[in-house]
């Protein structure tokens, strides 16, 4: 069996209730419950302050923005979401 390939943004949208379950999650029995459990634990750890210093010192990332004809336009800062650790 191949492990599903998941993208942070689609998983975060699903966890936030703002998007559908990414297709790969449904291919592995129990993966949806496992991801939700991991998210609940991560949220509790963040609220407790255990990971505060780690997230503050983490460097920001940027992603390229392209024009419709696929020419480079700009760089945009990636926004943090719950799947990436905010």
pLDDT tens per residue across span 42-78: 887 777 665 555 545 455 676 777 777 767 777 777 7
Q: Parallel, antiparallel, or unpaired: how do β-strands 62-66 and 72-77 relate?
A: antiparallel
Domain range for 30 is 8-77
Query: Does residue 29 sit within a domain?
Result: yes
Strand partners of residue 64: 75
Query: Does residue 14 sit within a domain?
Result: yes
More confident of the two residues 24 and 62:
24
- Report the distance separating Cα 78 and Cα 61, nearest Å: 6
Task: Domain count for the chain, please give it.
Answer: 1
Assess contact for 83 and 11: CB atoms under 8 A: yes
Query: Does residue 18 sit within a domain?
Result: yes
pTM for the structure as a whole? 0.58
pLDDT tens per residue across span 13-22: 999 999 999 9
Query: Does residue 84 sit within a domain?
Result: no
Assess contact for 12 and 84: CB atoms under 8 A: yes
Query: Does residue 3 sit within a domain?
Result: no
pLDDT at 4: 81
Query: Does residue 52 sit within a domain?
Result: yes
Query: Does residue 83 sit within a domain?
Result: no
Angle at which helix 31-48 crosses helix 8-15, to 10 degrees, equals: 80
């Amino acid at each position: 069996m191949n492990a599903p390939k998941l993208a942070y943004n689609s998983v975060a949208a699903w966890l936030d209730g703002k998007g559908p379950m990414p297709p790969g999650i449904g291919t592995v029995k129990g993966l949806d419950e496992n991801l939700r459990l991991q998210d609940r634990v991560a949220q509790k750890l963040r609220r407790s302050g255990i990971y505060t210093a780690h997230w503050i010192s983490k460097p920001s990332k940027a992603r390229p923005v392209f024009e419709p004809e696929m020419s480079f336009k700009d760089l945009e800062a990636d926004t943090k979401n719950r799947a990436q650790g905010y």
